[in-house]
Amino acid sequence: MTDFTLTGKTILLTGAAGILGSRLTRHLLDAGAQTVIALDHSEAALRTLEQDIGEPSRLRAECADITSKPALEAIRERLSADMPAIDVLINNAATKSPNFFEPFETFPRDDWDMVMDVNVTGAMHCCQVFGTPMAQAGRGSIINTLSIYGIVAPDQRIYEGSSYLGRAINTPAIYSVSKAALWGLTHYLSSYWGAQGVRVNAVTPGGIFSGQNTTFVDRYSARVPLNRMAQPDELMGAYLYLASDASSYTTGQNLVVDGGLTVW
C-alpha cells in the first residue's frame, strides 16, 4: 500500500508560526512525523506555537533570521548534535515589508529588497544549508510554498474597497516576482539534485480566508470555480503527499490548490 504517513521523518519547516505554518506543524505531527523543527523569526510566536501544539518531545522551536546563512548553519550544527538527519525541508517563510501595500509607482527599493531577501534568498539559504546534506545522503524532499500570483497576475478589480484587519490591501508586484522566482529555484534544484535522490516540488495555495472583509471575499470568490476562498486545512494534503514516500517519483512539480482559479 502506498505510504502517505510521515512515520519516523524529521521535518524542518520555516515560517512555522504563521497562519499556514502553524496548521502545517499540527498536521505534520498528526501524520506521524518523528520531529518537526519549527523555524520562525519571532520568538514570541514560537512560544505560542509550542503551547498550542503541546508536544514538547516532538516539536523543536528554533528562532532565526533565514536571510542570515551563518545563523542557519549554527542551527544545523546544534541539530546535528542530538537529532537525526532532516528528511524534509519546507520553505514556507514569507514576509511583508513596512510599505508592502504601497502602489507600484512609488514602491520603495528597500521594501523590494527586504521581501526578496526573505522570500527568495532565505529559501536559497535553507536549501544550501539543509538541502546539501540531503544530496550528500542521497535522499530527501524539499517543498517550497508559492502563490497563485507567482503564476498568474492578480485581478486588480477585486481590491477596490477591500481590506484586511481594517487596512486597505492589494497584491504588490514584489510578491508576484518573489514567488515566481521561488518557482524558478524549485525547477532548477529538482534537476540539479535529482541524481542525488532529492525531490524538489512546490505547493501553490489559492487565497486563504484569514479575516479579509466581505467585499474582498465576495469578489475573490467570484473568480474561483468553487466559488469560495480556501481554509488553511484544505492545503495540508498537498504538503503531506510531497513530504511522504507516496511522492517518491514526483519532482519538479507544482501542486496548485486554488479551487480552480487558474483555469479561467
Mind listing the pLDDT tens digit for each residue in 38-61? 999 999 999 999 999 999 999 999
- Mean local confidence (pLDDT), 73-81: 97
What integer pLDDT is reported at residue 1 of this predicted model? Answer: 56
| Percentage of residues of the chain with pLDDT beyond 70 | 99
At 3 the pLDDT is 87
What mean pLDDT comes out for the span 3-14? 97
Q: Looking at the predicted structure, is the pLDDT value of residue 117 above 60?
A: yes
Residue 139: Cβ-neighbour burial (10 angstroms; 0-12, 13-18, 19+): middle
How many other CB atoms are found less than 10 A from the CB of residue 70?
11
**Residues 187-207 as b or e (16 or more Cβ within 10 Å = b):** bebbeebeeeebbbbbbbbbb
If you average pLDDT over residues 156-168, what whole number do you get?
A: 94
Question: Edge-to-edge, what's the strand order for the sheet holding 198-205?
Answer: 59-63, 35-40, 10-14, 88-91, 140-145, 198-205, 254-257
Average pLDDT, the chain: 98
Kind of pairing between the strands at 198-205 and 140-145: parallel
Cα–Cα dist 181/240, whole Å? 23
Q: Does 67 have pLDDT greater than 80?
A: yes
CA dist 233 and 230 (Å) reads 8
What is the pLDDT confidence band of residue 165, given thresholds at 50, 70 and 90?
Answer: confident
| Contact between residue 75 and residue 39 where contact means Cβ atoms under 8 Å apart | yes
Over residues 166-170, the mean pLDDT reads 93
Q: Is the pTM of this model over 0.75?
A: yes
Domains of the chain, each with CATH number or no CATH: 10-155+173-212+232-256 (3.40.50.720)
pLDDT in the model for residue 156: 96
